[in-house]
Structure 1
Amino acid sequence: MHLNPIQLFDTESSTFTYILAAPGSPEAVIIDPVDRHWERDLRHLERLGLKLAYVLETHAHADHVTSAGKLRELTGATAAVPSGCGIATAETQLNDGDTIRFGAGETIAVLHTPGHTAGSMCYVWRGNVFTGDTLLIDGCGRTDFQSGSADALYDSVTGKLFALPDDSRMWPGHDYKGQSVSTIGWEKRHNARLADRSREAFVKLMGELNLPRPKLIDVAVPANQNLGLPHGG
Structure 2
Amino acid sequence: IIYNTSRFIGPVIAGYLIKYQSNAIALFIVSACYLPLTFVLLRLQLESKKNVTRAKQFTFFTDIKAGLEYTYHSQLILRLLLIIAVSAILGRGLLEILPAAADVLYQGDVETLAWLNSAAGMGAILAGLILSICNSKRLIPALCSAIITSGLLLLAFNLSARMEFALLLIASLSFCATVCGVSTQSLIQVYVSSEFRGRVMSLWGAINVGGGAIGGLLFGLLTEYVGYHDTFISMGILCLLIAYLSIRKLGKVNH
- Say which structure is richer in strand: 1
Shorter-chain TM-score category? Answer: under 0.3
- Say which structure is richer in helix: 2
TM-score (norm 1): 0.24
TM-score (norm 2): 0.23
Which of 1 and 2 has higher RCO (CA within 8 Å, sep 6+)? 2
